[in-house]
Amino acid sequence: MLIDTHAHLSLPQFDKDRTEVIKRARDAGIKHIITVGTDSDDCRKAVALAQEHDFISAAVGIHPHDAKTINAETYSLLRELAADNNVVAIGEIGLDFYRNLSSQEIQVQHFREQLWLAREVSLPVIIHDREAHQKVLQILQEEKAETVGGVIHCFSGDWEMAQACLGMGFYISIPGTITFKKSDAYHKLVRDLPLDRMLVETDCPFLAPHPFRGKRNEPAYVQYVAKAVAGIKGLGCEAFAEITTQNAQKLFNLFH
């Protein structure tokens, strides 16, 4: 029974068949899904989905791409949504210095502010980090992010960064890219990660694992991620699923 710790079920890519996608996840034995907001409207939709389905929880936060849209009203909305019992994290927040759709200065400012918000509402954080490893680490350390805890989603850093994140009590989440060929360095990193700090995710509709690479991803496919990681760790799929499910339950305070 796996948990997809990072999905984007409220995005338009699922508008035509969202009900069927959710049903396929259930049929595939997915125990729980965390659907993650990226902007104000998306956060509202994520919470609404979580309210409709008892096996879906939501995270609310403004993605670095949309940091330039944040104003005082945004934080009022996030506080209001975070009070909902179905909301288990503040995210997806962080830095994206690859696409720079918001200026780096604005991204940094609102990353810090959303970490403050997470502390205020006592929720863990879901961190986006693309081409910004050192700055993400610096801010997490300066803002004492270990006091709220969280996960680096779609982890793309090196072993040194992983150790720093683990040292703050953070979890490392592995996406479908682990199933791609030519990911030897990533395999080694996964092999070295402690099992009690690992999560699996789809990041759907993005990053579909092999054999669906290039197609729309969906929560049911998290089983392919888990199978690949379990193989690298030398574990059976059931044992690995049990461990990562317990990790997700612990981080996001699920099923209470």
Q: Give the start-to-end residue ranges of the domains of the chain.
A: 2-252
Average pLDDT of the chain is 96
Question: Per-residue pLDDT tens for 10-31?
Answer: 999 999 999 999 999 999 999 9
Question: Half-sphere exposure of residue 102, counting CA atoms within 13 Å on the CB side?
Answer: 21
The number of beta carbons lying within 10 Å of the beta carbon of residue 2 is 26
pTM comes to: 0.97
Between vectors from CA 226 to CA 177 and to CA 155, what angle results, nearest 5°?
A: 40
Helix axis angle, 104-121 to 133-142, nearest 10°: 40
Is the CATH number of domain 2-252 3.40.50.1000? no
Question: What is the pLDDT, as a whole number, of residue 5?
Answer: 98
Dihedral pair phi/psi, residue 81, rounded to 5°? -65, -40
Q: Select from 224, 239, 245 the least CA-distant residue to 171.
A: 245
Question: What is the pLDDT, as a whole number, of residue 217?
Answer: 98
Question: Per-residue pLDDT tens for 31-56?
Answer: 999 999 999 999 999 999 999 999 99
Question: Per-residue pLDDT tens for 229-243?
Answer: 999 999 999 999 999
Residue 52 exposed, middle or buried by CB count within 10 Å (0-12, 13-18, 19+): exposed
- Residue 87 bridge partners (DSSP): 58
Question: Half-sphere exposure of residue 179, counting CA atoms within 13 Å on the CB side?
Answer: 21
Q: How far apart are CA 125 and CA 228, in angstroms?
A: 26
Dihedral pair phi/psi, residue 155, rounded to 5°? -55, 130
CA 192 to chain centre: 21
Mean pLDDT of 66-72: 96
Q: Which two tokens stand for residue 47?
A: 């919470």
- Which helix or strand (DSSP H or E) is residue 7 part of? strand 2-7
Question: What is the pLDDT, as a whole number, of residue 185?
Answer: 87
Q: In a 3-state reduction of DSSP, which class is residue 211? A: coil
Dihedral pair phi/psi, residue 248, rounded to 5°? -65, -40
73 pLDDT tier (thresholds 50, 70, 90): very high
Mean pLDDT of 192-209: 97
Question: Per-residue pLDDT tens for 77-87?
Answer: 999 999 999 99
- Residue 197 bridge partners (DSSP): none
Is the pLDDT at 256 greater than 70, yes or no?
no
Question: What is the pLDDT, as a whole number, of residue 53?
Answer: 97
Question: Per-residue pLDDT tens for 155-197?
Answer: 999 999 999 999 999 999 999 999 997 778 899 999 999 999 9
Q: What percent of the chain has pLDDT over 90?
A: 96
